[in-house]
Structure 1
Amino acid sequence: MTALGFLYPGHFAEDDYPRIEQLLGSDVRVELVHTGIEEDAHQIRTLRETNSAERLAASVEGLRLSGAEAVVWASTSGSFVHGWDGAQEQVHALARAAGMPASSTSFAFVHAVGEIGARRVAVGATYPDDVTGLFTGFLRAGDVEVVAAHSAGIPTPAEVAAWGAPEILALARAADTAEAEAVLLPDTALHTASHLATLEEDLGKPVLTANQVTVWEALRLTDRRVNAPGLGTLFTREPIVQV
């Protein structure tokens, strides 16, 4: 049994995680700990305040007790708002506090783009333009070419969490271009675990979503690869460890 640990800010789309655990269909256990948020807002100031090293460190004890083998900070905007170097410092501090390998959703996107072999991507963000710009800058710092970016300008994660398949599909379509080899939907407040197959079928290309890549990143940290077609192209590689 492989236990994966996640620190998730607030209560928005956390039910994606048990759904992903079910779709993995293997001996993988997902452990989720909620961290507090200062304010429900897609604002740079708020996002930087939500994820202090002290707040994250205070949340890891429950994951250690659960037997988690790796931890991922399940907040894209809560990591990329610090820039590449700041996000690296954040996960290094988290690894020290947790005593286990650590990463964040922002780095998960960069690693996942490499995993599927994409060179050019489009971004469909729920965020305002300024926050989306920080994410695309983070991707470029990770040598990911961003050919298009669409910002929906939704002010709060709570509003995003209420979206269903039609709104999520509209966001992906608005972002997509013929040049893009994959489409990225970066908000962990989006419920996407049940819609990945539909998204990829509609766009005809890989779609990477925040909670999906977050779980994949935790598996990567534990040297696990699980074949789970229901979770999209990212999860259809040959597993390193047969399950």
Structure 2
Amino acid sequence: MRAIGLVTVVLIGLSLPAGRLSAAAPAPRILLTDVSHALEGRSLVITGGVTNAGSAAVAPLVIDASGFGPAGDLVAMGSDGIPWEMGPGQTERFSISIPLGRMLIREYVVQVSRVRAPAPYSSARRGVDVALYREHLRTLVMLRGDLFKGVLTVRAEGPGLPVAVVTADAQVLVFNPLLEGFQPVRLSLDLDLNRSRTVFVGSPHAFLISLRLVDLRLKVTWSD
């Protein structure tokens, strides 16, 4: 009797490494353009454009501005956003208004990023010229005056402000013995910021009526 052996042949298919099903998405190229600023009332308004220079749409985007004071410390922040989708080549405008107090912004950094992204796509740094704050500084300088026994003491206060000299106008009533009465006298005083100046008004019998800031001379640079 002849035995017939059954041989089971198992074919093992060798699989080749699969090629990429799709190319990796290109990294977004988001640019900040035309970043500038202006003073509007008591706010520093930062404006500019955000351009999608990549080949794919992106959304949403947030634009953050950080303002730094004369000493380099962070003193103010503001934000704007682009919640809609930006297609390739598209540019959108942004505007960030930062209210100013006594702490002025010497320079600021603007960053654009995706919401909750670990790093910004693009950033821009800009400095603010001292002269931009001329009118705003007039509201921050405080004048103090005292008249005692004919000696007028005036002080202009503004710690940390980029002001060199303040011109003040003082109105006083001085007793004139020839007229046997008081007469108004106007004094114009140049004051170094945060220093006092004394002036004898001509008679120990005098009264300070008013004290007004007329002008101020700014420092040439923040570091002066």
TM-score category (smaller protein): under 0.3
Q: From the two aligned structures, give the one with the greater helix fraction.
A: 1
The normalised TM-score by structure 1 is 0.21
Q: From the two aligned structures, give the one with the greater strand fraction.
A: 2
